[in-house]
């Protein structure tokens, strides 16, 4: 009975129709398909069959159809002009829906097999058991651009040159913007190191109650533009279409311009900071993604000032 069931399933899979439709163009992770009368709908997924060896070489998902042609995204694998389409097999042997647990296990196993493939032949062989490979991929080196918004805070110790009023420690608040670029190295399947170069602002202002130690005024401020370099070690918790991570790192800040009444401008030159951050990446396709994060930047305190910043970043990246 088991042999009969196995033979029935095997014959079902082998009998899946290879459509007359074929790929006529490949560009940037997308393919154009001449449907040759085949009926497909957006969201349908197909194997691509390499005509040279009749093996599966990719999986595509139809994005739109018009005038007998279709545009599809390459989910995974290598697409080539001339490849034909074969419908993906539905679940057999049981007739019911797969549970989310078994589906997740199957997908994880398929992705692991694919990630170990080193040649096109090995990758094609991995497709023989594929069902629903999505955006889950091993981490890769990546690069991109970042925009930044920060909520800055500082607590300086303000003293008058002639001690008429006692020293005060006003809470100065403000915000700044920034922009830069990053490059990220994948060290393992879950750990990366991101280096970032960024031009950023640190702006705060506030008032003392009576003390006029801010250059003869109760209005205190510090506006500094930094050219900064950061290194951040990241650990990834998930690696689906949305990847989540947490990280720790540090930075070196060089003041390129400054204007301050709450600080001695002659002492504003460089800073070293520590960073705690968490964030994620939203995978747009196999090549591009949107990184986003929130981080806490800690400035080591001195005898006269403490400072920190809550930093939000979003950008665009390639891998």
Whether residue 272 is predicted with pLDDT greater than 80 in this model: the reply is: yes
> What's the rounded Cα separation, in Å, for the pair 222 and 200?
14
pLDDT of residue 94: 40
Rounded to an integer, the average pLDDT of 156-166 is 80
Q: What is the pTM of this model?
A: 0.60
Residue spans in the chain of domains classed CATH 2.40.10.170: 18-129
The DSSP symbol for 91 reads P
Which range is least confidently modeled, 3-17, 72-86, 153-167, 180-194? Answer: 3-17
Whether residue 287 is predicted with pLDDT greater than 50 in this model: the reply is: yes
> What's the rounded Cα separation, in Å, for the pair 20 and 107?
29
**Which residues touch 221 (CB under 8 Å, ≥6 apart)?**
172, 203, 204, 205, 206, 214, 259, 260, 261, 262
- Average confidence score pLDDT of the chain: 82
Q: Which CATH class is domain 142-318?
A: mainly beta
pLDDT band per the 50, 70, 90 thresholds, residue 16: very low
**Which residues touch 131 (CB under 8 Å, ≥6 apart)?**
88, 89, 91, 106, 107, 110
**The domain made up of 18-129 is a member of CATH 2.40.10.170:** yes
Q: Which run of H or E residues covers position 9?
A: helix 2-14
Which range is least confidently modeled, 39-43, 57-61, 248-252, 269-273? Answer: 39-43
Which range is least confidently modeled, 30-39, 235-244, 280-289? Answer: 30-39
Rounded to an integer, the average pLDDT of 121-141 is 54
Q: Which residues of 210-239 are buried (b: 16+ CB within 10 A; e: fewer)?
A: ebbbbeeebebbbbbbbebebebbbebeeb
Whether residue 151 is predicted with pLDDT greater than 50 in this model: the reply is: yes
Residue spans in the chain of domains classed CATH 2.40.160.20: 142-318
Rounded to an integer, the average pLDDT of 76-97 is 67
pLDDT of residue 228: 98
pLDDT of residue 51: 83
More confident residue, 121 or 236: 236
Residue 272's nearest CA partner among 211, 314, 228, 224 is 228
pLDDT band per the 50, 70, 90 thresholds, residue 20: low
């Amino acid at each position: 009975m088991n042999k009969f069931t196995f033979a029935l399933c095997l014959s079902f899979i082998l009998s899946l129709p290879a459509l007359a439709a074929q790929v006529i163009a490949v560009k940037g992770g997308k393919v154009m398909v001449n449907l040759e009368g085949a009926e497909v709908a957006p969201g349908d997924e197909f194997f691509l069959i390499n005509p040279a060896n009749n093996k599966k070489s990719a999986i595509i998902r139809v994005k739109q159809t018009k005038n007998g042609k279709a545009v599809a995204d390459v989910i995974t694998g290598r697409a080539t002009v001339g490849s034909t389409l074969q419908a993906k097999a539905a679940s057999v042997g049981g007739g019911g829906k797969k549970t989310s647990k078994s589906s997740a296990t199957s997908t994880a196993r398929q992705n692991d097999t694919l990630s170990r493939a080193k040649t096109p032949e090995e990758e094609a062989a991995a497709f023989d058991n594929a069902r629903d490979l999505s955006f889950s991929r091993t981490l890769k080196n990546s690069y991109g651009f970042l925009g930044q918004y920060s909520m800055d805070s500082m607590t300086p110790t303000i003293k008058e040159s002639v001690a008429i009023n006692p020293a005060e420690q006003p809470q100065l608040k403000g915000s700044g913007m920034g922009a830069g670029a990053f490059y990220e190295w994948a060290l393992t399947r879950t750990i990366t190191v991101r280096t970032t170069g960024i031009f950023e602002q640190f702006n705060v202002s506030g008032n003392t109650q009576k003390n006029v130690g801010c250059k003869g005024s109760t209005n205190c401020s510090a506006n500094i533009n930094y050219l900064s370099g950061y290194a951040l070690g990241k650990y990834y918790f998930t690696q689906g279409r949305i990847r989540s991570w947490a990280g720790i790192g540090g930075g070196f800040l060089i003041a390129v311009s400054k204007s301050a009444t709450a600080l001695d401008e002659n002492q504003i030159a460089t800073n070293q900071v520590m960073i705690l951050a968490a964030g994620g990446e939203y995978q747009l396709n196999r090549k591009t993604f949107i990184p986003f994060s929130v981080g806490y930047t800690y400035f080591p305190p001195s005898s006269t000032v403490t400072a920190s910043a809550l930093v939000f970043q979003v950008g665009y990246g390639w891998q």
